[in-house]
Amino acid sequence: MTTALTTGATAGIGAAFARRLARDGHNLVLVARDRERLRRQAAELHDRHGIEASVLVADLATDDGIAAVEERLADRTHPVDLLVNNAGFGLKGNYLDVPMADELRMLKVHCEAVLRLTSAAAAPMRERGRGAVVNVASVAAFVPRGTYGASKAWVVQFSQGAARDLAGSGVRLMALCPGFVRTEFHQRAGMGTRNIPNWMWLDADRVVDAALRDLARGKTVSVPDPRYKALMGAVKLVPRQALGGVSSRAGRKYGPRKAPDVSL
């Protein structure tokens, strides 16, 4: 039986990964900060699918939290076959309106934790000659959109580069780039969503199904859903300068109302 470790497993896309992987018969290690929620979820998935689900409480914005997950991934007596680096969050506000401590916390969770956990998992996977890592990025990686977009662009570049370096080793890496997904993400960040048209919303379970299909096909970047594939195709044709304007207008729309008027 194989084991999958998912970070941010208590809600949204991470919980959808846990449901799908449990249904497929994988044992699970569920990582997040909310102990009670993790325990409830582990018990539910064990009862429903008969798999072993263990809980690892860790705040990936801290060194101790990252180290605890690294230690679990490096445990060669209980190997992890699939790592899903999914934990993440959004921040409401334009550049310079967001406190620096929050920006740094985002880089810690979206970049440092992803780098360290991927490395902790991939080394023993390479020794065994098999394994996979899915790093959850976003379509925001492809448009100029603040620290969030920049951190997700890093996830895509890092995953593609590492996948290339590990080609032929039996270890696969893939960046997953969804568009808007109905989860707790926007509510947690205090972002309004009324302006986002219905057709742009994706379902977390379907995103996960598409991601696992793409992983099996050997893709290194997955943009689930044909609507976003088409959008991302169009984005490549738009000059970067123009894209910056559209993307920052969208940011103001979905983010805070206040936009300082500074003309130089």
The 3-state DSSP class for residue 50 equals coil
Report the residue number, 3 or 17, with the smaller CB distance to ligand NAP.
17
Report the residue number, 138 or 248, with the smaller CB distance to ligand NAP.
138
Q: Are 73 and 80 in contact (CB under 8 A)?
A: yes
CA distance 193 to 93: 14
Q: Taking the complex as a whole, how short is the minimal distance between the CB of residue 140 and ligand NAP, in angstroms?
A: 7
CA dihedral sign, ordered 21, 24, 26, 27: positive
DSSP string for residues in 102-151: HHHHHHIIIIIHHHHHHHHHHHHHHHHT-EEEEEE--GGGGS--HHHHHH
Report the residue number, 130 or 186, with the smaller CB distance to ligand NAP.
186
Q: Taking the complex as a whole, how short is the minimal distance between the CB of residue 260 and ligand NAP, in angstroms?
A: 26
Q: Taking the complex as a whole, how short is the minimal distance between the CB of residue 38 and ligand NAP, in angstroms?
A: 7
Report the residue number, 51 or 207, with the smaller CB distance to ligand NAP.
207
Which one-letter amino acid corresponds to residue 190?
G
Site residues (vs ligand NAP, CB under 6 A): 7-14, 32-34, 37, 59-61, 86-89, 109, 136, 138, 178, 180-181, 183-185, 188
Which helix (DSSP H) or strand (DSSP E) does residue 221 occupy?
Answer: strand 221-222
Q: Taking the complex as a whole, how short is the minimal distance between the CB of residue 168 and ligand NAP, in angstroms?
A: 29
Which positions ≥6 away from 135 have C-beta within 8 Å?
A: 85, 114, 118, 155, 158, 159, 173, 174, 175, 176
Tell me the two tokens of residue 202: 């994706």
Q: Which residues are catalytic?
A: 148
